[in-house]
Structure 1
């Protein structure tokens, strides 16, 4: 876009005062900016002025559209990006707070100090966050913000921030579980966190032990070992650790009920540390697979292993 085109856009704004027209103009100006292969400093400044003036009259919908479009753009004009990031409407601010690399850590820290949980929650999801920002998020944020920060591998933690999170983790299992998985905590904090363990994993392990399949596992392993000719250790590994399509074959070959098969899926998920698993597609595969076909596949597994 040339400087003349940008000036023409401003002239058009002067003629059309409605928010709908301003929104259309803002979208068109953004199109021109995004289509420009190179933008000089003076052109960027002009775009900044145009976008800022038009956005102020384009309503929430217009500003949201602009934010979503320029959030991923690394050379977006700094002024409008900062204005959008400070917008009182979280739906406008969120895209740039989550994605824009134009915003500095100093910008983000200032926004975190002066805006609410919605703005802080958005920036806590950024791919990379400096410790001067996380310090503010940890000090001012709600549980959702703290959970995001503790679980965000790209969120740098200061010693004070890590210690504060560790203290908050005493009352929040998700924060504790997130910290337990981190490798970048200060040594003293790391020791405290590791000593407390991972409550999510512990809870899932207890859930697995309470699953009816847990008591059935020895018999399931024995039955499939007999059917397939594989040894019990190999069968157990296939059931608990290998591809889910193999589990479908095993359970169908043993003529399990659909309910027991779903229990098996949940049991395996809990043992692997997953709180939830999407079972719909696997159950459909299970129901569509004929028993005789599954049993043939089971016997083929022995042949394939012998050949290997």
Structure 2
């Protein structure tokens, strides 16, 4: 399997990268127009970091470093704000396109930091995190921000980071609880939030954030209860079991895949990624492997 992973990474380097003005970037196409998206850089950083973490093979470290240098120089301002899309000339095309990019780049940089141990990379991460906190990004209730905050707390536990991560989940939890569609990113968000609560349980910040012990356990229980509910809901409403697949044209092709009932039974690779990410993370967390 690792050889296939390497083939995929090498294909991406060969076909999806660009050398422009001395910068190494992941390119994308909007029709025939080239653009460079922050989310694409984050995906590549995450992919190379995961490969190095799992294998110990450092052949992609130079590429990882170059991608980080490009993100720092071209996609981040001096005020630690993100630029989401550049044009072919590396000029700003869109300062903001979608909130996912912000949490995704922070999460990927933190994973790269774990591999590289570079303090400059961590300083970038801190700048981003502090900017998200200062600008109330918890209002977006984004799963990538939940992932990133939980990752940040591995390296720097502050009252502000804990409050941010908890509010990102808790302020939207009634909506998540009642959501009738599978919507897998909600489980991803809650698993990361539950991990934060576990960290907080043994942190000196717990009594500062929750003056009453009963309040802490009430919030922890609320997050965990809804998390488990989402697991059951995803499996029962988002998995194409054979008994259901038999009513479609190609049942053997789609059985045990993941689908979006609210969008004409849509089955997409990114949906599958979110379903698998949430369910596998939950499984590992539930078995206390993480």
TM-score by length of 1: 0.33
Larger radius of gyration: 1
Bigger proportion of residues as helix: 1
TM-score by length of 2: 0.35
